[in-house]
């Protein structure tokens, strides 16, 4: 599957090193390649894994949008990350709240 989202069991069976990926510790943006997508175990979210142009391994979550779009997209974006192809480049913006939570704001294809 070109843009397939995997379950945690499938990720384990494939040997994807998702434990090597962290939420961004700081900053507000990066450009990177989408290398994997996995459904969260307990929530209606999709975790996207990126190899950044700066050499970091980062992950971000998108939540199911219950509005008419019914998609998995960053807060200020119309991009449905569920449909995004793997091995594509993205320019990403996010913020880190006072509580330390990461909020994914935008995702733009960066070809």
The whole-number pLDDT of residue 2 equals 57
Report, in this order, helix, strand and coil percent for the chain, each rounded to 5.
Answer: 10, 45, 50
Q: Which helix (H) or strand (E) holds 8?
A: helix 8-14
Whether the CB-CB separation of 95 and 28 falls below 8 Å is answered with yes
Residue 1 in this model has a pLDDT that exceeds 70: no
* Residue 92 exposed, middle or buried by CB count within 10 Å (0-12, 13-18, 19+): buried
Of 74, 69, 85, 79, residue with least CA distance to 37: 85
Tens digit of pLDDT for each residue in 23-76? Answer: 998 889 999 999 999 998 877 789 999 999 999 999 999 988 777 777 899 999
User: For strand 72-73 and strand 29-39, is the pairing parallel, antiparallel, or unpaired?
Assistant: unpaired
Question: Domains in the chain, ordered, with CATH?
Answer: 8-109 (2.40.50.140)
Residue 16 in this model has a pLDDT that exceeds 70: yes
Tens digit of pLDDT for each residue in 74-107? Answer: 999 889 999 999 999 999 999 999 998 999 999 9
Q: What pLDDT band is residue 3 in, cutting at 50, 70 and 90?
A: low
């Amino acid at each position: 599957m070109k843009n397939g989202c995997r379950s945690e069991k499938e990720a384990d069976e494939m040997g994807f090193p998702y434990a090597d990926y962290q939420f961004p510790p700081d900053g507000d943006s990066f450009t990177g390649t989408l290398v994997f997508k996995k459904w969260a175990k307990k929530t209606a979210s999709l975790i996207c894994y990126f190899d950044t142009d700066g050499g970091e391994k980062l992950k971000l979550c998108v939540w199911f949008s219950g509005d008419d779009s019914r998609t998995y997209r960053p807060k200020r974006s119309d991009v449905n990350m569920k449909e995004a192809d793997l091995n594509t480049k993205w320019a990403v913006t996010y913020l880190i709240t006072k509580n330390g939570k990461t909020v994914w704001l935008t995702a733009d294809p960066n070809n």
